[in-house]
């Protein structure tokens, strides 16, 4: 038997065949089931218990995003999404990554597509990392008693950290209790939202799911048909889905974003309420080759008085699901700073890769609107997707979040996301700091590169520079962080292994001595604010 079992979900039989052939070509994988829509994918996940799922976003009856939510409720399974590069496709991809998808690939156009081999290699690599990361996490949680004895120094360090561990455990248990109560109200919201799910006749039975049996290996795989659904399910299709999963395994809901960290008290505070926002306009076209550095006008947004909520509602809801599909944040956004400051003394630079969209959501949305520093971000992502990521983060953040434009001025209180396919550097002229985007060759296979961004910040010793590396495979950022710290960087923060989706980039930064502070994801925003205020 193959090592890892894969479920493939795509509404096109043609694409299911292409994807299955690419996966079957690797002896580490076997296809145990295929599904033609999201509802079938959920049923097949529960029935066949695959190790990893390859799921298309755009499917009938129940799309990939809705199916992902149900998979994470009924049987959490590492899932890699397939996405188009359309505006809708990129927006849904970012949502899927924040809801719980492990990673994504751009969907191949067909067997004759010029990049079909590249896409296939990327898909196999991400499937392998997804399932191995999940297995590693399971082993780590069950084999703690088999660890080698610690030396006296390590024991002392563990004893010193015990109060912190107990406090974090208590906070986690408190959060779980609060989330259990919130899940009830969130499911009710999903049931009421009919705008994102196609209506299906109440008496329509479920379509067949192709199951490749593993008990025997015939000349041609046999197909098993799932039993039909009851003939009298709830009228609403989403209600039917929730009702059918009431006895299924419950997943751990995603941790809600932390509230903005106040600059004065340096402690987490309740999430500030905010006002709804209009869609962010697309940035002006970049002119990378232009020798002139244009002076970008500060981008302003309408100021709206924050809505006052009772204390009981101060905890933000988990990442939106149904209402979220309409591009309307559950928690309204607070107003942005109207006056941009160019005379800042601090600079924050963040690098991340696999698992980054969820990590960035956790950190960026917890930073206060009066943060006296600009934030530069490199997230490994293809072109177009970074624009949707910036829009998505902007709709939930107190800070202004934008995809960086070549030559634009850098202001305190603004987050600049490096565009996919371009390196982002910090530069300076007589008028101040600005963004420089380049098409220099990829560094370590990445463009944008975290190393390139960090290294570009090294010459500006007049700034207090704070670097952060979060979840991601590989080692991008470790060398750049070391260079930055050797030039007098103020602080270097790495995400701890316990919260990383993939503990690759942070591990490299710790092992080469660049990272000076290692904290779990939920404490990174607080560490940034503390560092900026020293």
Please give the sequence-ordered ranges of beta strands (E in DSSP) within 253-399, or none if there are none. 346-352, 375-379
Candidates 244, 397, 476, 508; catalytic one: 476
Placement of tokens 């067909």 in the chain: 110
Q: How many Cα atoms are found within 13 Å in the side-chain-facing hemisphere of 422?
A: 23
Query: Does the active-site annotation cover 380?
Result: yes
Query: Does the active-site annotation cover 151?
Result: no
CA distance 457 to 446: 18
- Read off the tokens for 214: 């593993």
- φ, ψ of residue 281 to 5 degrees: the values are -65, 150
* Nearest Cα residue to 90 out of 326, 382, 385: 385
Placement of tokens 């969209």 in the chain: 357
Candidates 36, 353, 395, 475; catalytic one: 353
How many Cβ atoms from other residues are within 10 Å of residue 210's Cβ?
22
Query: Does the active-site annotation cover 185?
Result: no
Name the packing angle between helices 450-457 and 478-486 (round to 10°).
10
- Read off the tokens for 370: 């009066």
Helix, strand, coil percent values for the chain (each to nearest 5) = 35, 15, 45
Placement of tokens 């990939």 in the chain: 64
DSSP secondary structure string, 347-380? EEEEEE-TTHHHHHHHHHTTS-TT-SS-EEEEE-
DSSP secondary structure string, 67-83? HHHHHHHHS---EEEEE
In the chain, the N- to C-terminal Cα span, in Å, equals: 57
Candidates 346, 361, 380, 387; catalytic one: 380
CA distance 135 to 118: 26
CB 486 within 8 Å of CB 517: no
CA distance 322 to 316: 16
Q: Which residues are catalytic?
A: 353, 380, 476
């Amino acid at each position: 038997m193959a090592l890892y079992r894969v479920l493939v979900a795509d509404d096109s039989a043609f694409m299911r065949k292409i994807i299955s052939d690419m996966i079957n070509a690797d002896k580490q994988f076997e296809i145990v089931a295929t599904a033609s829509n999201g509802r079938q994918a959920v049923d097949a996940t529960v029935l066949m218990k695959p190790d990893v799922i390859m799921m298309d976003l755009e499917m009938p009856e129940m799309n990939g995003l809705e199916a992902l939510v149900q998979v994470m409720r009924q049987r959490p399974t590492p899932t890699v999404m397939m996405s188009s590069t359309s505006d809708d496709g990129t927006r849904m991809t970012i949502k899927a990554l924040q809801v719980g998808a492990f990673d994504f690939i751009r969907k191949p156009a067909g067997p004759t597509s010029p990049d079909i081999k590249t896409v296939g290699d990327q898909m196999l690599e991400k499937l392998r990392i997804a399932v191995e990361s999940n297995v590693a996490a399971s082993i780590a949680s069950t084999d703690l008693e088999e660890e080698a004895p610690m030396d006296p120094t390590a024991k002392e360090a563990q004893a010193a950290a015990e109060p912190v561990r107990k406090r974090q455990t208590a906070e986690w248990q408190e959060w779980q209790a609060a989330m259990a109560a919130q899940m009830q109200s969130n499911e009710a919201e999903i049931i009421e939202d009919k705008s994102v799910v196609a209506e299906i006749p109440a008496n329509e039975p479920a379509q067949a799911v192709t199951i490749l049996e593993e008990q025997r290996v015939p000349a041609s795989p046999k197909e098993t048909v799932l039993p039909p659904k009851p003939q009298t399910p709830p009228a609403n299709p989403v209600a039917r889905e929730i009702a059918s999963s009431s006895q299924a395994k419950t997943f751990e809901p995603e941790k809600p974003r932390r509230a903005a960290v106040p600059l004065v008290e340096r402690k987490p505070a309740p999430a500030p309420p905010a006002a709804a926002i209009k869609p962010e306009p697309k940035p002006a076209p970049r002119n990378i080759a232009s020798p002139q550095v244009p002076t970008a006008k500060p981008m302003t947004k309408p100021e709206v008085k924050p809505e006052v909520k009772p204390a009981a509602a101060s905890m933000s809801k988990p990442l939106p699901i149904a209402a979220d599909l309409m591009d309307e944040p559950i928690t309204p956004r607070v107003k942005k700073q109207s006056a941009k400051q160019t005379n800042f003394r601090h600079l924050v630079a963040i690098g991340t890769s696999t698992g980054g969209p969820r990590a960035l959501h956790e950190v960026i949305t917890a930073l206060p609107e009066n943060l006296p520093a600009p934030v530069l971000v490199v997230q490994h992502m293809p072109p177009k997707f970074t624009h949707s990521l910036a829009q998505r983060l902007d709709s939930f953040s107190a800070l202004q979040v934008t995809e960086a434009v070549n030559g634009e001025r850098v202001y305190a209180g603004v987050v600049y996301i490096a565009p996919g396919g371009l390196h982002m550097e910090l530069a300076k002229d007589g008028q101040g700091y600005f963004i420089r985007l380049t098409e220099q060759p990829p560094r370590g296979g990445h463009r944008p590169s975290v190393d390139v961004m960090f290294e570009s910040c090294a010459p500006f010793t007049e700034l207090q520079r704070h670097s952060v590396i979060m979840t991601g495979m590989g080692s991008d950022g470790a060398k750049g962080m070391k260079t930055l710290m050797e030039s007098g960087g103020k602080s270097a923060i790495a995400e701890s292994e316990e919260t990383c989706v993939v503990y690759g980039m942070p591990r490299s930064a710790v092992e080469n001595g660049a990272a000076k502070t290692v904290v779990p994801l939920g404490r990174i925003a607080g560490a940034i604010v503390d560092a900026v205020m020293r």
